[in-house]
Chain A
Amino acid sequence: MSLETPLHRVQGLGSAHAGVRHFWRERVTAVALIPLSAWFVVSVLLFVGKTEAEIAGFFQHPWNGLLMGLFVLVSCVHMMLGLQVVIDDYVHHPGQRIVLLLVTRAYTWLVGGLCLVALLRLAVV
């Protein structure tokens, strides 16, 4: 016996696997952030005592610029997904939830945009 509704059976679409998209994206970005965030912390630790020119020079190196850009981008995606879960869990008023989710997205794009513009400026100087 099938538990499908007649409408579902006649449409014949099956699962779109869209329900697990958020879950998967959170995990994949988490795995990517293991090496990226470790690289980030070690790099920043090595900035201690360095001059402004030396630190700017670090980000001008193509590999460092790429890794920093990836760290920022993947962090922003992971951050947006994670903050969404927190808001979905604790904010029950639909209007407040939508406003907070939009603020979260605006904040994420702002942070990501600022970091990438700064990295590009460092790269082309």
Chain B
Amino acid sequence: MADNPQSPSVRNRPLSPHLGIYKWPITMVTSITHRATGVAISAGMILLAWGLIALASGPEMYQPFVASIVNPIGLVVLFGFLWSLVYHFLNGIRHLAWDLGYGFAVPTANRTAVLVIALSALISVGVFGYGWWILHGGLHA
């Protein structure tokens, strides 16, 4: 049995790609994230509608809206909405460039994928941080 020449080669055969063992290229990550953030922004739009209705309805509706933002859960949701919007914005520009025929080469697409992820994190943290700083007194703190 040990001399069976077939058994080692059977074990070393390459496996066909399967989702469970497939190493995701970064372009695949950015693609599915574009969809996920699009759905997340869509869900968040009802919160924007709530905010505008609250603002138009006076303090008795506006105060609870503000209170629901300025607490840990509200801030997490707000940051999630902001990051989703920034990511979808940046990656959307990437998609529009592809539509015009630019940036299709694999190394380019990989580089712009990293760029979009990094910039979306940088911008959303920057915007959120600026808001946080203003809320806590800004220059007068």
Q: List residues of A whose CB falls within 8 A of some B CB.
A: 27, 30-31, 33-34, 37-38, 41, 45, 48-49, 52, 55-56, 59, 72, 75-76, 79, 82-83, 86, 107, 110-111, 114-115, 117-119, 121-122, 125
Contact = CB atoms under 8 A, between A and B. Distances in A.
B21 interface: no
Interface in B46-91: 46, 48-50, 52-53, 55-57, 59, 62, 82, 85-86, 89
A34 B53 CA distance: 25
Contacts of B53: 114, 117-118
A33 B92 CA distance: 10
Interface residues on B, range: 20 to 34
Given A79-B42, A122-B55, A48 B134 contact: yes
A45 B41 CA distance: 17
Contacts of B85: 37, 41
Interface string B82-123: 100110010011011001000000000000000000000000
